[in-house]
Amino acid sequence: MSVIVVGLEQRHAPLDLLERVTVTESALPKALGRLRDQSNLSEAVILSTCLRTEVYAVVERFHDGVAELQEFLATVSGSPVDSLAEHLTIRFDDDVTEHLFTVAAGLDSAVLGESEVLGQVRRAWEKAQVEQVSGPILGTLFRHAVETGKRVRSETAIARGITSLSHGAVALGADRRDGGLAGARIVVVGAGEMGEGVAQALVGHGAASLVIANRTPDRSDAVATGLPASTAGEVRTESLEGLGKLVADADVVFTTVGTTHPIIDRPMLERAVAERGQGAPLLVVDLGVPRNVEPSAADIEGLVLLDMDVLRSAVAEALSGRQEEVAGAAGIVSDEVERYRLVSRARDVAPVVSALRARAEEARRTELDRQRSKRADLSDAEWAQVDSVTRAMVAKLLHQPTVALKDAAGTPRGERLVETLQTLFDL
């Protein structure tokens, strides 16, 4: 049995491929159900964010498991497996632990120490639990990963300043517009976690107005209500039905919707730019993966379109000074990885140790019962002494094998010892 992760991530896959392989929240139950039906997979968790889509799994046979997950991702993306091969990342066992802990710590993000990814890791695991796909092995792994992420953020300064893609997007928007965002009419499309983060990051920028547009009014109303008065001169909510008019009336648009197709197409933006007339360009920051804005709109005169590729590059440059915190955070990750390994090794050998002790105890009791029928001359008190002595003898005999087994757990030697004990004692 092996723990593996197969997926695509920002450093090794182009944005258009990441878009195609993204598993949206609404599609997650069905995707997890497909993994649950795989005979070789006993547990699975899908972590799909704007910068990565990875499937963590416990598999009976390593190579078969990798092949099944590759086929799964190929089906999601609508591409043949061969076209994904050069972009896929495959990890197994200890490497999976180190990778997930690094991700949860925010060390493998466009924004070092970002706060959003920790919640994404936790929710990915919770979704898998709801769909009854995650079990004890991945449950322990993800729980420890979340603990690691929390520790990194509490014990280092890696999360200071820009702490999320939402904050990075607002900072980028302010940098790309003359005069920053002061006096700007801003529209945030989407009121999920990313949209709420953008709205909160606008506090103090002096926007003239802020419109939060969302499919469900209850959610956008909740986001707007939670904002301080200093967010903008006017804050209101709208549905997506009049999106074209909202875009035309805006100076800056942030899009944060989880969707499989663009919700803002080129014709909508061409009309918006025409209605705006002369003046500063319309600035659109697309935080969607898959993209919310049709990419071909980038060449419209009077429009500045920034997507995740631009954001990642800009944020990485802005946060170059945070690198000194990486060493401390990486040290915490290493400590937690080793702690997890020790706990896992002890857990892995525990059933063998229990079985060995149970087998020895069964043999001891069987022999005592056999002798009891032959030695009727011994009193109950004497039999109690015999029971105590034989129990102590068995404990001493098993002490050294138990210690050796626990010390070697998780190593090739430990695997050989387990196999030997199972063979010798028919465990």
Spatial separation of the C-alpha atoms in residues 378 and 140, rounded to whole Å: 51
Sign of the CA dihedral running 325, 89, 12, 14? negative
Measured in whole angstroms, how far is the alpha carbon of residue 315 from the centre of its chain? 20
Pairing type for strands 303-306 and 282-286 reads parallel
Is 50 among the catalytic positions? yes
Q: Which amino acid is at 317?
A: E
Distance of alpha carbon 199 from alpha carbon 402, whole angstroms: 57
**Structure tokens of 313?**
């590059």
SS3 of the chain: the string is CEEEEEEEECCCCCHHHHHHHCCCHHHHHHHHHHHHCCCCEEEEEEEEECCEEEEEEEECCHHHHHHHHHHHHHHHHCCCHHHHHCCCEEEECHHHHHHHHHHHCCCCCCCCCCCHHHHHHHHHHHHHHHCCCCCHHHHHHHHHHHHHHHHHHHHCCCCCCCCCHHHHHHHHHHHHCCCCCCCCEEEEECCCHHHHHHHHHCCCCCEEEEEEECCCHHHHHHHHHCCCHHHEEEEEEECCCCHHHHHHHCCEEEECCCCCCCCECHHHHHHHHHHHCCCCCEEEEECCCCCCECHHHHHCCCEEEECHHHHHHHHHHHCHHHHHHHHHHHHHHHHHHHHHHHHHHHHHHHHHHHHHHHHHHHHHHHHHHHHHCCCCCCCHHHHHHHHHHHHHHHHHHHHHHHHHHHHHCCCHHHHHHHHHHHHHCCC
Helices 412-424, 326-372: crossing angle, 10 deg rounding? 10
Count of beta carbons in the 10 Å neighbourhood of residue 239: 13
Active-site hit among 3, 5, 32, 50: 50
| Active-site amino acid positions | 50
